[in-house]
Amino acid sequence: MKTEIHPEYAEVSVTCACGNTFTTRSTLCSDARVEICSACHPFYTGKQKFVDTAGRVEKFQRKYGGDYFKKSEKK
């Protein structure tokens, strides 16, 4: 490995918007701020919700009559 061509790989303190802090290693910056982490992400906390803000599900149900996913009987 060549010397003096690789970036410095140092410890970085990461701070989340929820207040959680942890230490990792990075070549980019000395301190990092993130909006979401594993302590507050809905997928990891189990508090995942499906939010239909634009009414897309209801629009789909109206368009296809609510029977779109039912299996049709073959004669």
Q: For residue 69, is it within any domain?
A: no
Distance (Å, whole) CA 14 – CA 22 = 5
Q: For residue 34, is it within any domain?
A: yes
Whole-model pTM: value is 0.50
Q: Is the pLDDT of residue 69 over 70?
A: no
- Check residue 74 and give its pLDDT: 63
Q: For residue 23, is it within any domain?
A: yes
- 34-57: pLDDT as tens digits: 888 888 877 777 776 666 667 777
The single-letter code of the amino acid at 35 is E
Q: For residue 52, is it within any domain?
A: yes
Range(s) of the domain holding residue 52: 10-64
Contact 13, 25 (CB under 8 A): no
Q: Are strands 31-34 and 10-16 parallel, antiparallel or unpaired?
A: parallel
- Check residue 21 and give its pLDDT: 92
CATH number at residue 44: 4.10.80.400
Domain count, the chain: 1
Distance (Å, whole) CA 69 – CA 75 = 18
Among 10, 40, 39, which Cα is nearest to 27's?
10
